[in-house]
Structure 1
């Protein structure tokens, strides 16, 4: 599937940490209905069978809203569930190897923390980059933060779109305006909120300012 830059504007990354009144599936559906433009299923502690079960359900939900759906890290699950693609980190499988496995038509996202990593990922077939962590985040407590200057440098160094990730919320999101980022990848700023619909609509307006599409 061809990826449009606009589809990365508000990129939701799932986390079951905030399941409560609603299941993750219900939270995800609410987020997509409210305007999320891209969905990544991230599961770090499920076995392949359970991960695949969940992935099939989430793919069906994403499909109803015509939103691209990718799997975090697990290429096998991505292929088995028919996801639109996969997102890999620097410590996961090398981007070029992933591209060979998923073929030319699936979306490949790669995490980058340096200009060198970003350029290499683009060269090896990435369709977009996830750049971060920028702010401290409970999702990845040991992640090394990168500076706003690095975000700008990466955006300028590659021709593929960049989404920023890591502790982004309504209080700090304006710092990304003018960096060249195409969108925001959010976890707690969506799934950790009391009212997901309101949170998505609010962050969508802020994401447009970051991407320069609010004019």
Structure 2
């Protein structure tokens, strides 16, 4: 199982963030775009793909595996509900790498049957950005998940701040993911540098 490009993983809702954060040193970024008409969605994906290539970013597209195949994005992230409809044979034949979200043991067991490139666990702490059916998992659950997944990369997400990120890494996460820590900060580029320092120490 190959590792991940970086120990932190911003999740962004617009291609311009790939340009800004990539220029600042982020090398692993997920584009999560919701509720756009398909032409606008594709335009965002193409722009993000081009910015990612410019800055040496590994771009991950959330949900839209067909568009990833068609637009030359090589990494996708799938939620549990996506597994109900995604054509995993087409995904594998297309050479897509993929990560899968998990929130409980049953979801982890299901995710592992697909041999993903990483599994994500969340929310580790309470988060206001996304209404979750599951409560905070906590750092101890990260330790348990790491024992269960072994060498497979583990991503922690949900309520993670710069100060909390090292706690997740110490508990066994290979990578920490955040949204508002970057996109809602007064100095996103400065945050990238701070997260680099905190996660590579």
2:12 is aligned, of 11, 14, 21, to 14
In the other structure, the counterpart of 2:159 is 167
Q: Secondary structure at the match of 2:82?
A: coil
Structure 1: runs of 5 or more not aligned: 16-23, 209-213
CA drift of 1:81 comes to 1.4
For residues 8-63 of structure 1, give each alpha carbon's deviation from its aligned partner in whole angstroms, at most 9, with x where no partner exists. 41212113xxxxxxxx4433212112121211110121122211111011001011
Distance in 1, matches of 2:196 and 2:130, equals 23
TM-score, with structure 1 as normaliser:
0.83
Q: Is the contact made by 1:131 and 1:164 (CA closer than 8 Å) also made in structure 2?
A: yes
1:100 is aligned, of 89, 92, 98, to 89
In the other structure, the counterpart of 2:47 is 57
In the other structure, the counterpart of 1:198 is 190
Greater CA deviation, 169-178 or 127-136? 169-178
Q: Secondary structure at the match of 1:5?
A: coil
CA drift of 1:98 comes to 4.2
| Runs of 4+ off more than 6 Å | none
CA drift of 1:143 comes to 4.4
CA-atom RMSD, angstroms?
2.0
Distance in 2, matches of 1:60 and 1:138, equals 31
In the other structure, the counterpart of 1:80 is 70
In the other structure, the counterpart of 1:147 is 138
**1:157 maps onto 2:131 in alignment:** no
For residues 87-133 of structure 1, give each alpha carbon's deviation from its aligned partner in whole angstroms, at most 9, with x where no partner exists. 111122249x5431212521111001224432432331211011111
Distance in 2, matches of 1:102 and 1:199, equals 33
TM alignment of 1:91-130, pairs within 5 A: 91-94=81-84, 97-103=86-92, 105-130=95-120
Q: Is the contact made by 1:190 and 1:199 (CA closer than 8 Å) also made in structure 2?
A: yes
Q: Kindly tell me: are residues 77 and 178 of structure 1, through their superposed partners in 2, closer, same or farther at Cα, counting changes over 3 Å?
A: same
Q: Kindly tell me: are residues 161 and 177 of structure 1, through their superposed partners in 2, closer, same or farther at Cα, counting changes over 3 Å?
A: closer
Structure 2: runs of 5 or more not aligned: none
Q: Is the contact made by 1:99 and 1:108 (CA closer than 8 Å) also made in structure 2?
A: no
Q: Kindly tell me: are residues 53 and 8 of structure 1, through their superposed partners in 2, closer, same or farther at Cα, counting changes over 3 Å?
A: same
TM-score, with structure 2 as normaliser:
0.88
Aligned residue pair count = 198
